[in-house]
A and B are shown apart, each in its own frame.
Chain A
Amino acid sequence: MKEIKIQLKNLSVFFNYIQALNDVSLDFYSNKVTSIIGPSGCGKTSLLRTINRMNELIAGFLRKGSVFIDGIDIYDEKIDVVNLRKLVGMVFQTSNLFPKSIYENLIFAPKLHGISDKSDLNEIVERICTQTAIWDEVKDRLNENALNLSAGQQQRLCIARALAVEPNILLMDEPASALDPISTAKIEELIFDLKSRYTIVIVTHNMQQAARISDYTAFLYLGQLIEFGKTTKLFTNPANKQTEDYITGRFG
């Protein structure tokens, strides 16, 4: 029943010979939400970015160990990184919509991947907007500049945009950190809804958020995995002293 989707094996990451992750082994389960928590600079984002190989865009990146998705080593040379990023969607800390219309933002990825039929594209736009519960807000203003939307709407549109190429995995890097409480609540609701279709990995510095939305939680500290387990267990009865200190706010 618990099916492993992503598997990190002895993963170490360096940037310019400075270690960001140290020998992390971790499993992410299918159709579950896993939170990664930890103080800033603990390697959360680096870990997330190894899963869609975005780290490779940063100069001085070095990796040891491996990452498997459905048992396939994604750092194998057979793997086409562009194809991988299509299957592993990513949402960033601040919304990064393109300065184009809402419609153009949403069809950006499908068009790149070869869908050109107008009615197909319309269908995709409606489907992903409905999925992300933003359809009612944008359906009448699809041709408006996407940057005119509110910050919360922009971030939800980023999630919608990431879903347009039907990924299996959704990576989220502190998606609500720059938003007000109401927009945050909407994003969290959305994550909950999306769980049935996607495997979601979310980095957050907000422990309440991790407790609210995730099934599993991993606690990272100084590049090392300190504890991983069911969210309910980790937050109520942590096995590790450091975890306990962190979630009770004694450091971090």
Chain B
Amino acid sequence: MKLKSIKLSSELLKEKHKDLPGRIAIMIISALSVLILAALSSVLIKIFIEGASVINLNFLSETPRNSMTEGGIGPAIIGTLSVSFIMIIFAVPMGIFSAIYIHEYAREKWYSRILKLSVNNLAGVPSIVFGLFGLGFFVLIVGKFLDEIMDTGLLFGQPVMLWASATLAVLVLPTIILTTIEALAAVPDHQRYASYGLGATKWQTIRDVIFPQARPGILTGVILAISRAAGETAPVLFLGCAFFLPELPLVYFDFGFFEIPMINPASQFMYLSYHIFILTTQSANPTLTQPIQYGTTTVLILLTVILNLTAILFRYKFRKTLREVRGA
């Protein structure tokens, strides 16, 4: 008995276990991680450094000149914004409304489950496949049909901005539906019960209780989806992107005294990501256009980063609200 207790105390007093191999393993992991992250970041840093020397107000607003070796990328920026704008109109309301219906009205229904499953898997389908769909369905079927019934010759039956936007809308729709459902599902059910218990109707509950709480989460998903679509190249490759257009894709509505410019969805357009692709692979002299390539890439990255940062801010806000509501 005595002997045993002595043994225990001597065990306790044994020199601290060093676990040298374990420490080395953790050190190697840390070092490699830092190295990989540095490698990833160096890509962006290299592009930023080269691009920063090119970017100025003129670069952002001017049209390309002298077979792309001079001038700016104004039309490409406007094209990207226009395409994204039309895409948002198509996809965002439909996506959010669908998600509200699926999650708040038909949560347990069989078709909601099937829809959720297919939406989930569609979100991972390669973007080029959506491009195929866009060309085969929107341009060659819907566009041709529109031209026939409106007697517009060959206006919609060819690759134009409208179809690029529609295709990107179909591309982001699954993501928007999924993230909206997630945001709605994150709002705890006791909030719904509280509202129903006070005699609120379903729509009142959604409008005044559920949606305001889910909104920052929904915005996070929507902004990330937009950011993804704005950076996509593959699906729009054969949907109306142009190497160079002398005029902006605008139509002017004449009101006598003044004209209001509007996006013309039935025109071809220049596009930031396509511009990078075409400059690097198909311009007559890639070395001469290299500064512009870096500048355009920097602009595209900045656009993505700004959208991502906004999304992160909304996510932060969303989590804060949820913590409060759940903590109660």
B170 to chain A, nearest CB (A): 32
- Give the nearest-CB partner of B197 in chain A: A90
Query: Inside 8 A of A97's CB, which chain B residues have their CB?
Result: 194, 328
* Contact across chains for A92 and B198 when beta carbons are under 8 A apart: no
A153 to chain B, nearest CB (A): 11
Query: Inside 8 A of B107's CB, which chain A residues have their CB?
Result: 59
Interface size on A, residues (CB 8 A): 33
Query: Inside 8 A of A82's CB, which chain B residues have their CB?
Result: 199-201
Query: Inside 8 A of B44's CB, which chain A residues have their CB?
Result: none
- Give the nearest-CB partner of A167 in chain B: B199
* Contact across chains for B198 and A112 when beta carbons are under 8 A apart: yes
Q: Does A74 contact B (CB under 8 A)?
A: no
A46 to chain B, nearest CB (A): 14
With A and B bound together, what is the CA distance between A88 and B204 in angstroms?
A: 18
With A and B bound together, what is the CA distance between A158 and B191 in angstroms?
A: 12
* Contact across chains for A54 and B197 when beta carbons are under 8 A apart: yes
With A and B bound together, what is the CA distance between A54 and B195 in angstroms?
A: 11
**Chain B 184-239 interface residues, beta-carbon cutoff 8 Å to A:** 188, 190-201, 204, 208-209, 212-213
Query: Inside 8 A of B27's CB, which chain A residues have their CB?
Result: none
- Residues 67-90 of A, flagged 1 when their CB comes within 8 A of B and 0 if not, give 000000000000000111111011
* Contact across chains for B199 and A165 when beta carbons are under 8 A apart: yes
Interface size on B, residues (CB 8 A): 25
With A and B bound together, what is the CA distance between A22 and B195 in angstroms?
A: 29
With A and B bound together, what is the CA distance between A179 and B212 in angstroms?
A: 28
Query: Inside 8 A of B198's CB, which chain A residues have their CB?
Result: 85-86, 89, 108-109, 112, 161-162, 164-165
B195 to chain A, nearest CB (A): 8
With A and B bound together, what is the CA distance between A121 and B328 in angstroms?
A: 26
**Assuming the A-B contacts A83-B199, A99-B213, A113-B199, are A147 and B324 also in contact, with contact meaning beta carbons closer than 8 angstroms in the complex?**
yes
Contact of A162 among B197, B209, B321 (CB under 8 A): B197
* Contact across chains for A109 and B199 when beta carbons are under 8 A apart: yes
Contact of A99 among B192, B204, B321 (CB under 8 A): B321
Query: Inside 8 A of B204's CB, which chain A residues have their CB?
Result: 112
Q: Does B108 contact A (CB under 8 A)?
A: yes
Contact of A108 among B190, B208, B324 (CB under 8 A): B208
With A and B bound together, what is the CA distance between A96 and B189 in angstroms?
A: 10
- Give the nearest-CB partner of B107 in chain A: A59
- Give the nearest-CB partner of A158 in chain B: B194
- A–B complex contacts, Cβ < 8 Å, 5 sampled: A57-B196, A59-B108, A82-B199, A85-B197, A112-B199
B: which residues have CB within 8 A of A? Answer: 107-108, 188, 190-201, 204, 208-209, 212-213, 321, 324-325, 327-328
